[in-house]
Amino acid sequence: MGRRRSRVGGLRLRLVIFAVSLVTAVFAAASFPLYILNEINGEQKSLFEGIVIVFLATEVIGVVGAILLSNSISNPVKQLIKHIEIIRDTDNLASLGGVEVKIKSRDELAILGDTINDMTRGLVKTALSSSELSIGKEFQKKFLPLELDYRGNKLSTGFEETKYFSLFGYYEGAKDVSGDYFDYLDLDGRYYAIIKCDVAGKGVPASFLMIQVATMFLNYFKYWEPTEKGMHIENLGYQINEFIETLAFKDRFAAFTFCLYDSHTGTARFCNAGDNIIHYYDASEKRLKSITLPETPAAGALSNFIVESKGGYRVQSLNLDHGDILLLYTDGIEESRRKFRNAKFEEIQCTSAPDHTPHENHVGGQWAEELGYDRIKCIVDAVMNKGSYTLHKWHNGEGDKDLLFDFTSSRDSVRDVIVALVSVEKMFRCYYDPKATADNIVLVDKIVDTFLKEHFIQYRDYCSFTQENPVNPAYLYYTHVMEDEQDDDLTILGIRRK
């Protein structure tokens, strides 16, 4: 009986020891104290070693399984990240055609991969469309008398310097293809034909009409002679009107002013269609002035018969004195717009006056203000009189911070007048948001940057961070600054009589 109890007691003891060993092995098998093993007899030690081996094998299988599971998730994620990095680092998005991320699984990651592939194809399509627009804009610039860079590409400026006058033109296209156009032709060394045109609307139709107007202008003066008949330039107005009206484009017409300029006498003979305001700087009075030409319909809006019944296209003369500057520009400069913003740089409406009630240079309820003629006049007068100019922006997220321009070192030249207008217009649309980073970039003509560096007092605040433009060396980027989009082309032509 005693032996039996002893055996039972021994069995119980072994079971207890086994249970303790099993629990201990689960939680601390790898670091199990060796001195315990030495206190256990051989049979128990063998049993315990078997348990440890099984436990470690289970752990190894678990780890290997976890690694395999992790790789099955992390590898597709890495593919997605790499694909997005490729998109981020590719300047020419059109080159991403056919570049796709391939995920073989059928889970949410595969759905995300398909979505990113769709997005990539969309970016390629958009890039190709933008490329076509860029090609169209470059083709459009071929018709403008602009300087060439070393690659043969048209720049933004063109000039003519003669014994009797200085001529300077500037063109900066907006995002879309448009119908802005200017040109000048030396007819015989004394007479020059000059035109400024703005076709209503954007896109290919406007560009098409612009090219047609340019072609007709060139052809009309190709065999021109300084006779009495040659002075009747209104015939060109009728020709352009008839051509556009016959095409019957809906809401497409051309507003233009062209003139025959006698460089010896300073007499400019104007004919206009839908554009009857002429601006010129009067050197004797030292201020910018305006004259109003006879009001006529824009070309293409009415037939020649109806135009004739309303008075027809007529010629009116203006005589430029020595030092006077004739300025011809489309509405892109006057109607340049910036949006109203609060201190958080959120877009806001003007609430300083009831809706449709005048408030400073705009009306209550509007979301933006235009640069306007008053500012243009002040800029021109400041440059020509070597003064200063203060640009105040209404409802400005930057507070009452005015922008200051010092033109005391400028030359009273037609070039400086036009570049000053373009430079102030650029800063009119730019603004400094504290949240702006290196990813916020503004494309700037280097001619404008050079002028701002010399005459813009707060140049270091807005223009100190720059990047080179790898596509077009005539431009650079300002970083850490933002701008409102340029809505329309900047097209300006100036002539100063010497």
Domain extent at residue 66: 2-84
Among 300, 329, 358, which residue terminates a domain? 329
Pick from 332, 328, 335, 333: nearest CA to 281: 328
pLDDT tops 70 at residue 77: no
- When mean pLDDT is compared across 83-92, 142-151, 184-193, 360-369, the lowest value belongs to 83-92
In which band, very low, low, confident or very high, does the pLDDT at 23 lie, cut at 50, 70 and 90? very low
Tell me, yes or no, whether 298 and 226 share the same domain. yes
| Per-residue pLDDT tens over the stretch 442-498 | 999 999 999 999 999 999 999 999 999 888 889 999 999 999 999 899 999 999 999
Does some domain include residue 149?
no
| pLDDT (0 to 100) of residue 74 | 64
Residue 469 corresponds to which tokens in the numbers above?
């433009």
Q: DSSP labels for 426-481?
A: HHHHEE--TT--TT-EEEEEHHHHHHHHHHBTTHHHHHS-EEE-SS-TTEEEEES-
Q: When comparing pLDDT for 201 and 124, which is higher? A: 201
336 and 379 part of one domain: yes
Same domain? For 415 and 431 the reply is yes
For position 291, what pLDDT does the model report?
93
The per-residue pLDDT for 11 is: 42
**Does some domain include residue 34?**
yes
pLDDT of 342-386, one tens digit each? 999 999 999 999 999 999 999 999 999 999 999 999 999 999 999
Same domain, residue pair 134 and 230: no
Question: In this structure, are 392 and 471 located in the same domain?
Answer: yes
Report CA Rg, the chain.
38
- The structural domain count of the chain equals 4
Instruction: Report d(CA 144, CA 197) in Å as an integer.
Output: 11
- Indicate whether 323 and 342 sit together in one domain: no
Is residue 148 assigned to a domain? no
Same domain, 194 and 61: no
Is residue 27 in a domain? yes
Lowest mean pLDDT among 25-29, 67-71, 206-210: 25-29
Identify whether residues 461 and 355 lie together within a single domain.
Answer: yes
Indicate whether 363 and 408 sit together in one domain.
Answer: yes
Q: What are phi and psi of 277, to 5 degrees?
A: -110, 125
Give the model confidence (pLDDT) of 315-333 as tens digits: 999 999 999 999 999 999 9
Q: Is the pTM of this model over 0.85?
A: no
Q: Are residues 353 and 341 in the same domain?
A: yes
To the nearest 10°, the Cα dihedral for 301, 306, 310, 316?
70
Half-sphere exposure of residue 315: CA atoms within 13 angstroms, side-chain side: 18
* Domain CATH for 204: 3.60.40.10
3 state SS of 169: strand
How far is CA 140 from each of CA 6, 136, 144, 236, rounded to the nearest angstrom?
A: 109, 6, 8, 22
In 3-state terms, the chain is what percent helix, strand and coil (to 5)? 40, 25, 35
pLDDT band at 128; cut points 50, 70, 90: very low
Q: Are residues 181 and 300 in the same domain?
A: yes
What pLDDT sits at residue 178?
76
